Structure 1
Amino acid sequence: MKKICMAFVGLLTLTISAQAQKKSGAIQFESTMDPAAMASANGIQLSDEMRARMPKAVKTNFELLFNATSASYMPVEETEDSNGGQGGGGMGRMMMRFGGAGGAREYYYTFADQKLVEVFDVSDTTYVMQGKLAVALPAQPINMGNRSQNNNNAATTTGNTTTVSAVQFLPGPPTLEVVKSDETKKIIGFNCNKVIVKSIRKAKVLGEDRDVIDETAVWFTNDLGFNFSPDPNFWTEGTVLAIENKGKTTTAKSIEYRNVSAKDVTAPKKALPITAEQYKTKMETMMKRFTGGGRPGGATGQARSVIIN
Structure 2
Amino acid sequence: MMKRIFAIFFLSSIALCASAQKKSSGAIQFESTIDPAAMMAASGIKLSEQVAARIPSSSKSQFELLFTATNASYMPVEDNEDSNGAGGGNRGGFGRMMRFAGMGGAREYYYSFADKKLTEVFDVSDTTYYMASKLQLSTKNQMPAFRANPNDSGKVKPMVPPVIEVVKTDSTRKIIGFNCKEVIVKSTRKVKILDVERNVTDETHIWYTTELGFDFSPNPNLWTEGTVLAIDARGTSTTAKSIEYRNVSIKDVTAPKKAKLITEEEYQAKLEAMMKRFRGNRTGGGAVRTITVN
Q: TM-score range by the shorter chain?
A: 0.7 to 0.9
Pick aligned residue for 1:135 from 134, 137, 148: 137
Give the Å deviation of 1:148. Answer: 5.0
Q: Secondary structure at the match of 2:255?
A: coil
Alignment partners' CA distance in 1, 2:159 and 2:113: 38
Alignment partners' CA distance in 1, 2:120 and 2:73: 10
Counterpart residue identity of residue 72, structure 2: A
2:18 corresponds to: 17
1:8-57 residue CA offsets vs partner (Å, 9 max, x unmatched): 10111000110121111100000000112222323444332222122111
Pick aligned residue for 1:238 from 226, 230, 245: 226
2:175 corresponds to: 187
Q: Structure 2 vs 1, CA of residues 11 and 101 (structure 1 numbering), >3 Å: closer, same or farther? A: farther
Q: Structure 2 vs 1, CA of residues 122 and 218 (structure 1 numbering), >3 Å: closer, same or farther? A: same
2:266 corresponds to: 278
Give the Å deviation of 1:227. Answer: 0.1
Contact 2:56 2:92 in 1 (8 A): no
Counterpart residue identity of residue 93, structure 1: G
Alignment partners' CA distance in 2, 1:53 and 1:182: 41
1:146 corresponds to: 150
Give the Å deviation of 1:79. Answer: 8.0
1:172 corresponds to: 160
Contact 1:101 1:232 in 2 (8 A): no
Q: Structure 2 vs 1, CA of residues 93 and 101 (structure 1 numbering), >3 Å: closer, same or farther? A: closer
Deviates more, 1:137-146 or 1:207-216: 137-146
1:142-201 residue CA offsets vs partner (Å, 9 max, x unmatched): 547616579979xxxxxxxxxxxxxxxx95221222111111110000000000111110
Contact 1:151 1:171 in 2 (8 A): no
Give the Å deviation of 1:107. Answer: 0.4
Alignment partners' CA distance in 1, 2:155 and 2:268: 20
Q: Secondary structure at the match of 1:292?
A: helix
Contact 1:59 1:79 in 2 (8 A): no
2:37 corresponds to: 36
1:87-102 superposed matches below 5 A: 89-99=91-101, 101-102=103-104
Give the Å deviation of 1:248. Answer: 0.6
Q: Structure 2 vs 1, CA of residues 181 and 263 (structure 1 numbering), >3 Å: closer, same or farther? A: same
Deviates more, 1:123-132 or 1:214-223: 123-132
Alignment partners' CA distance in 1, 2:44 and 2:151: 10
1:1-309 superposed matches below 5 A: 1=1, 2-78=3-79, 80=81, 85=89, 89-99=91-101, 101-139=103-141, 140-141=143-144, 143=146, 146=150, 148=152, 172-205=160-193, 207-292=195-280
Q: Structure 2 vs 1, CA of residues 147 and 184 (structure 1 numbering), >3 Å: closer, same or farther? A: farther
Give the Å deviation of 1:211. Answer: 1.5
Percent identity between matched residues is 59
Give the Å deviation of 1:103. Answer: 4.0
Alignment partners' CA distance in 2, 1:190 and 1:43: 36
TM-score, normalised with respect to structure 1: 0.81
What is the root-mean-square deviation in Å for CA atoms of aligned residues?
2.6
Alignment partners' CA distance in 1, 2:123 and 2:227: 26
1:162 corresponds to: none
Aligned residues: 275
1:113-161 residue CA offsets vs partner (Å, 9 max, x unmatched): 11001111111221111111001113242547616579979xxxxxxxx
Contact 1:117 1:130 in 2 (8 A): yes
Gapped runs of 5+ residues in structure 2?
Answer: 83-87, 283-294
Alignment partners' CA distance in 2, 1:148 and 1:237: 41
1:188-245 residue CA offsets vs partner (Å, 9 max, x unmatched): 0000000011111013455554311111100000000000000001000000000001
Alignment partners' CA distance in 1, 2:98 and 2:175: 24
Q: Secondary structure at the match of 1:49?
A: helix
Gapped runs of 5+ residues in structure 1?
Answer: 154-169, 295-309
Q: Structure 2 vs 1, CA of residues 242 and 74 (structure 1 numbering), >3 Å: closer, same or farther? A: same
Deviates more, 1:256-265 or 1:2-11: 2-11
